[in-house]
Amino acid sequence: MKRRHASLTLALLMVALPLAGCGGGEPEGISPQRMADALHAVMEADRTVYTRNVVNRLQNEEDVIQATEHWKDEKTLPLPAQMFRMGSELAARNTDEFTYSLQSLWPINKQNEPRTDAEKEGLQYVTENPDENYYAEEELGGTTYFTAVYADQAVAEACVSCHNDHKDSPRTDFELGDVMGGVVIRIPRS
């Protein structure tokens, strides 16, 4: 079974959510917003723990190992954004109940820039209102999605230094706590 390879948290969500009535149609037991908020809470916790307790500690505090974008070749740690993407890709292979991505108005990697109006509006909104979330419905490829955008803030010095020092970064003045982008979660409605 593919789900054995997913994180425990994702596996528990995948078991619990169908029981609550979530699926491609109208949910009976849990709203798309509540589902997205719950998914984001887990994603944000995992991302923050990895960034603060692994990357920032080992790279910035103890100078044991670096996190780099070429981590496989250089035998370093994956960047937090790469860990997030790898989780997203694995989840996409294991379920069609939702998708998620990390995007930014100032992406280092161009594949992380917003493409739809909901993504652009959502990222702008959470940048200006970091304590609020953005919710919208959009139609993509004949499917209606509930789309949620959450602020992704610099939680450690490793975030700030990586973005400010990267040769391809379109913005080099980030500070701890700044919104650097957003997490976009999509849940199909029809």
CA distance 148 to 100: 9
* Tens-digit pLDDT profile for residues 178-190: 999 999 999 999 6
* Tens-digit pLDDT profile for residues 117-162: 999 999 999 999 999 999 999 999 999 999 999 999 999 888 888 8
CA distance 190 to 187: 9
More confident residue, 8 or 58: 58
Q: Which residues contact 179 (CB under 8 A, 6 or more apart)?
A: 126, 127, 130, 151, 152, 153
State pTM to two decimals: 0.83
Q: Per DSSP, what are the bridge partners of residue 183?
A: 102, 150
pLDDT reading at 88 higher than 70: yes
- φ/ψ (deg, to 5) at 181: 175, -150
Q: Which residues contact 26 (CB under 8 A, 6 or more apart)?
A: 189
Q: What's the confidence (pLDDT) of residue 1?
A: 34
pLDDT reading at 3 higher than 50: no
Region 78-92: mean pLDDT is 95
The average confidence (pLDDT) of the chain is 87
In the three-class reduction of DSSP (H, G, I as helix; E, B as strand; rest coil), residue 119 is classed as helix
Q: What's the confidence (pLDDT) of residue 8?
A: 39
